[in-house]
Chain A
Amino acid sequence: MPLVSAAGIRFEQVWKKFRSGQVHDSLRDLIPSLLRRAGTRSAREHHSLEKREFWALQDVSFHVAPGEALGIIGPNGAGKSTVLKVLNRILRPTHGIAEMRGRVGALIEISAGFHQDLTGGENIFLQGAIMGMKKREIEQKFDQIVEFSGVGEFITTPVKRYSSGMNARLGFAIAAHLDPEVLIIDEVLSVGDLSFQERAFARISEMVRSGIPVVLVSHQLDRVATLCTKAIFLEQGKVRMAGSPESCIAEYVLKPARTTEAESRASYPVRIHALHVQSESPIGSGNFVQLVLSGEADEGANGRFDPYNISVRSAQTGKLVFRVQGTSLGLGFPAVGPFTAHIELQMNVPAGIYAIESGVRERYNGQFNHGPVAYVQVADGVRFEGNVQMNPRFRVTHNADLVTQPL
């Protein structure tokens, strides 16, 4: 069997079957079910679905080498957590191979092992041991863990008296001090208050950047985009897309919008071939992104098809940020033959990933044909809150002396 050398994660053609509804769990139900199974047992048992069974994972494959971080995204029920459970040996795949090499650190349900009657300190030892830390290791890191959690003097208080935030912070602090060779993370990025989230995120980034293989499941897509080197987009247990985090996020977020894409494109006489981002990514908030749109117009365009439609959508939320039509800008219609447009958009938006969609609009009936999509990542220039980067300019005087020049 070919194995991953050194530390690494291998997931090869994994299928996982689940049963919905109740499984027999009293002895009374066992006997009839055994009789039924004895009658129907066959070689195809692992491959076919019986009543109420369904595939939670279908032919899911990926590899994660040291230095790589894989993000798994997708809607609820797509099978993301199942992937982690199979990886983590909590579930056994019905078919296929799941393998991790090296000491595994799992940031999953980080306070699951807590006992409510034990103190914070006692729970650090318990949870640490459950996560696979040695007693001596926990003793060495104990003060750091307490410090990181911000629980302070409550460390000698039973956990049942903790607020839910303290509980989660302590759990995260323990997990954050694991020293793993392989890391899997499930939705633990949104723990505690804002300042703790910042610290948690910084800590996870540190662990990810230390060069170990990482698998991350999160709904916070911007975090996936920032942390991961590659991604898969899962839906209904299948890999819909594997590739760069940006492309997977966009595919996931924009999927509903793109389903109509293939239907009528061929019949349009004006087609967009490409939409390229020319600026360096990431773009500072408030700066311009430069794009090039290219396409071709056939005979019969007849001034009816406008290819200069641009929509900007937040990849995290899927919400439309901005949309403009070429006709509104007075751009006119392309002549027969190839056309190119250089576009500049000022990204007065918060940090995140944005999908820039192109499309061709029929002038009279408003029919819209989706074209290529480009993705840009916007980074914080000046940190701000809210939806719009207002590019603030201050001119400050103290005692009539100019202190700060306008930006």
Chain B
Amino acid sequence: MLTGYDVTSTRLADQIDAQSSPPDAAGAARTSIWGDLVEVMQDVVGARDLVYQLTLRDIRIKYKQAVMGFAWAVLMPVLVVMAGILIRFIMARASGEAVGGPVIGGMAVKALCWSFFVGAIGLATTSLITNMALLTKIYFPREVLPLSTTLAQTVDTLIGAVAVACLLPFVGAQWTLQLIWVPVLFILLFGFTLAVAVFLSCANLFFRDVKYIVQVLLTFGIFATPVLFEPQMLGRTGGRLLMLNPLSPIMEGLRLTIMQGRNLFAPVVVTLRDGAPFVAWSPWYLGYVALWTTIGLVVSVVVFRRAAFAFAEYI
């Protein structure tokens, strides 16, 4: 039976080779990176109602049957800030530095960013496989799944942001013109998170262990981002290394504009404990993060789009 099958298939293969029909469809359909990007943009814009409905679904199911409802959106950053305060007090006892309002305010802002990133990545990584029934049955641009998960997390974060904004005047934040940097930095954060989300959702479809690796990285990642401390506390080299993480300049930028009213076009130099100067902020960091976000989005979207045709087969 099996041998007979093999013989038939070989003959079939010869038959195709002999065909004068159009060449391999996969080869003919291959497009440029730019073409892929344009196509994805058109598809997603065309499916905006679907993005809206999926986002709404994710928000609804999160808060349905949850006693605390939207308080959850605030609770997560609050817990991070509490942990941060605890750590800072311990460090303060060792170094003699006081933990004041601005420190808590900065941590609250950064904790909100961090919980956005963690929440979006955690859910988006599994967004394709939890919608397996859809992927194998119905056609729609697959990009909408990680996108709507990230958008649903954005709504969470905006609710949290309202709570944080209520807290900020009490911990020393000032209304300055520099607050216009906040939306810019948030767009960078959103773009970078989306890039990672799109890439990981696709990777997790093909390799199911990706989500475990992501869990581990997200758990320890808080120490590779300046959520609970400032980069200069790690010293010159440590601080610089920390700022290589694309999330670090976003978080530090937010802290500097909100808590200190800094203009991000001007560098910020602080003094390290040993008296040496340290560049806590340079305008170049904006470009650095924008570059990461752009390259990340292009790579992840193109990889995703080119892998999408195989989703239903590999899932």
**Which residues of A lie under 8 Å from residue B15 when comparing CB positions?**
59
Residues of B within 8 Å of A97, CB to CB, are 22, 25
A90 and B137 contact, CB distance less than 8 A = yes
Chain A stretch 196-233: residues in CB contact (< 8 A) with chain B: none
User: Do A26 and B208 have beta carbons less than 8 Å apart?
Assistant: yes
CA distance A112 to B61 in the complex (A): 17
Mark out the residues of chain A between 47 and 75 whose CB falls within 8 Å of any chain B CB in the assembled complex.
Answer: 47-49, 54-55, 58-59
- A109 CA / B140 CA spacing, docked (Å): 14
A319 interface hit (Cβ, 8 Å): no
Given the known interface contacts A96-B21, A134-B49, the answer about A46 and B26 at a Cβ–Cβ threshold of 8 Å is: yes
Residues in A neighbouring B25, C-beta threshold 8 A: 92-97
Confirm or deny: B50 has a beta carbon within 8 angstroms of a beta carbon on chain A.
yes
Distance from B52 Cβ to chain A, minimum over Cβ atoms (Å): 7
Within A75-109, the residues touching B (CB, 8 Å) are: 85, 88-97, 104, 106, 108-109
CA–CA, A131 and B138, complex, Å: 7
Question: Contacts A46-B24, A129-B52 given: A112-B137 contact, CB under 8 Å?
Answer: yes
Which B residues are CB-close (under 8 A) to A89?
139, 309
Q: Mark A12-26, 1 if CB is under 8 A from B, else 0.
A: 110100110001011
Interface presence of B206 (CB below 8 A): yes
Please, how many angstroms separate the alpha-carbon atoms of A129 and B64 in the complex? 21
Sorting the interface of chain A by its residue count into under 10, 10 to 19, 20 to 34 or 35 or more gives: 35 or more
When the two chains form their complex, are residues A135 and B49 in contact, meaning their CB atoms are under 8 A apart? yes
Q: Rank and list the top 8 A-B pairs by shortest CB-CB distance, nearest first.
A: A129-B53, A109-B137, A92-B309, A129-B50, A49-B9, A112-B137, A90-B312, A48-B13
Tell me whether A117 and B138 are in contact (CB under 8 A). Answer: no
**Cα distance A96–B21 when bound, in Å?**
8
Q: Contact: B16 with A95, CB < 8 Å?
A: yes
Which B residues between 123 and 179 are near A, CB-CB below 8 angstroms? 133-140
Interface of chain B, helix or strand or loop or mixed? Answer: helix
Closest B residue to A238 by CB, please name it: B12
Known: A85-B312, A118-B57. A25 touches B207 (CB 8 A): yes
> 8 interchain pairs (CB within 8 A)?
A15-B16, A58-B12, A59-B15, A90-B138, A90-B312, A92-B26, A97-B22, A109-B137
Q: Which of A108, A118, A125 contacts B137 (CB 8 A)?
A: A108
- How many B residues touch the partner, as a band? 35 or more
Task: Tell yes or no: B314 within 8 A of A by CB.
Answer: yes
Nearest-neighbor residue (CB-CB) of B310 within chain A: A92
Report whether B207 and A106 are in contact in the complex, using a CB–CB cutoff of 8 Å. Answer: no
Q: How far is the CA of A54 from the CA of B4 in the complex (A)?
A: 13
- B32 sits at the interface (CB 8 A): no
Residue numbers in A under 8 Å from B274 (CB-CB): none
**CB < 8 Å: which of B21, B24, B57 contacts A126?**
B57
Indicate if A296 sits at the interface (CB-CB under 8 A): no
Q: For B52, list chain A residues within 8 Å (CB).
A: 129, 135
B313 and A130 form a contact (CB under 8 A): no
Q: By the criterion CB–CB under 8 Å, are A112 and B19 in contact?
A: no
Residues of A within 8 A of B10 (CB): 48-49
Which of chain B's residues has its CB closest to A137's CB? B49
Q: Nearest chain A CB to B136's CB is how many angstroms away?
A: 7
Q: Are the CB atoms of A113 and B61 closer together than 8 Å?
A: no
- Judged by a CB distance under 8 angstroms, whether B97 is at the interface is no
Q: Which residue of A lies closest to B205 (CB)?
A: A25
User: Which residues in window 355-393 of A have CB below 8 A to B?
Assistant: none
Asked if residues B21 and A13 are in contact (CB atoms below 8 Å), the reply is yes
On chain A, the residues within 8 Å of B60 by CB distance are: 117-118, 122
Do residues B57 and A115 form an inter-chain contact, with CB atoms below 8 A? Answer: yes
| Chain A residues whose C-beta falls within 8 Å of the C-beta of B3 in the assembled complex | none
Q: A47-B17, A55-B12, A132-B140 are in contact. Are A26 and B209 (CB under 8 A)?
A: yes
Least distance between A145 CB and chain B CB atoms (Å): 15
Q: Contacts of B312 on A, CB cut-off 8 Å? A: 85, 90-91
Q: Which residue of A lies closest to B210 (CB)?
A: A27
Check if A117 sits within 8 Å of B137, measured CB to CB. no
Minimum CB–CB distance from A398 to chain B (whole Å) comes to 57
Decide: A130 and B138 in contact? CB cutoff 8 A: yes
Q: How far is the CA of A27 from the CA of B137 in the complex (A)?
A: 26
Interface: B65 (CB within 8 A): yes
Please, what's the 1-or-0 string for B198-234, where 1 marks a CB less than 8 Å from any CB in chain A? 0000000011111000000000000000000000000
Residues of chain A within 8 A (CB-CB) of B12 are 55, 58
Partner of B13, one of A27, A44, A59, A129: A44
